[in-house]
Amino acid sequence: MQTLTTPQLVLEPLSVAHADEMFELLREPALYRYLDYGPPPSLDHLRYNYAMVEAHESSGETTSFGERWLNWVARVAGELRAPPVGYVQATISVPGIAWIGYVFAQPQWGRGHAHAATLAMIEHLATHYAVQRCLATVEVENHRSSRLLARLGFHEATAEEAIGHTLTATERLFVRDLIST
């Protein structure tokens, strides 16, 4: 894993060392309105989870489920020891296909950080991991995330594209092909 940079952000590969900084950001209740999980119950729990993720990132190996986990913590570029503003992640479970996600602190919403970070990650996935298609699920009511995905070139999955994907009644699947077929 490598650090990714954009004009506005630095994306650092997630490590256990990020847990202390990320814990407070991830305690923000607004972040979980549309997610199917809640805030980390403790700092130790977050450290444990980050250790699991870091082990698979740094080794380059897949998980016991056959997945590759890739996670980056985002900071504003140019600010000395800037606090994290969020994170982006990708799970490659089938060669060429990545599920993506992102979480950014509420004070950062509307500043373009999620767009810049997610775009940098997608471009990196295409060039370094041979990802040809990205997928994301979004709750129907999460209009902000749906608009972000549309700006990133995603479209809502067709019935054919959704085959084999189990969604809840309140989820929508978004797809972006990274290469022309």
| Residue 61 pLDDT grade (very low, low, confident, very high; cuts 50, 70, 90) | low
Q: For residue range 87-110, what is the model confidence (pLDDT) as tens digits?
A: 999 998 888 999 999 999 887 788
pLDDT in tens, 12-57: 999 999 999 999 899 888 888 888 788 899 999 999 999 988 876 5
Largest pairwise CA distance in the chain: 48
Interatomic CA distance for residues 73 and 14, integer angstroms: 6
pLDDT band at 58 (very low <50, low <70, confident <90, very high): very low
Q: What pLDDT was estimated at residue 116?
A: 94
CATH code, 4-132: 3.40.630.30
Please report, for the chain, the start and end positions of each structural domain, with discontinuous segments joined by +: 4-132
pLDDT at 148: 94
Among residues 62, 96, 67, 86, which one has the least CA distance to residue 175?
A: 96
The rounded distance, in Å, linking the Cα atoms of 61 and 67 is: 9
Contact residues for 148 (Cβ-Cβ < 8 A; gap 6+): 102, 114, 115, 118
State how far the alpha carbon of 89 is from the alpha carbons of 5, 14, 114, 118, 159, in Å.
Answer: 15, 9, 11, 8, 26
- Rounded to an integer, what distance in angstroms lies between the CA atom of residue 72 and that of residue 13? 4
Mean confidence (pLDDT) of the chain: 87
- Residue 152, phi then psi, degrees to nearest 5: -85, 0
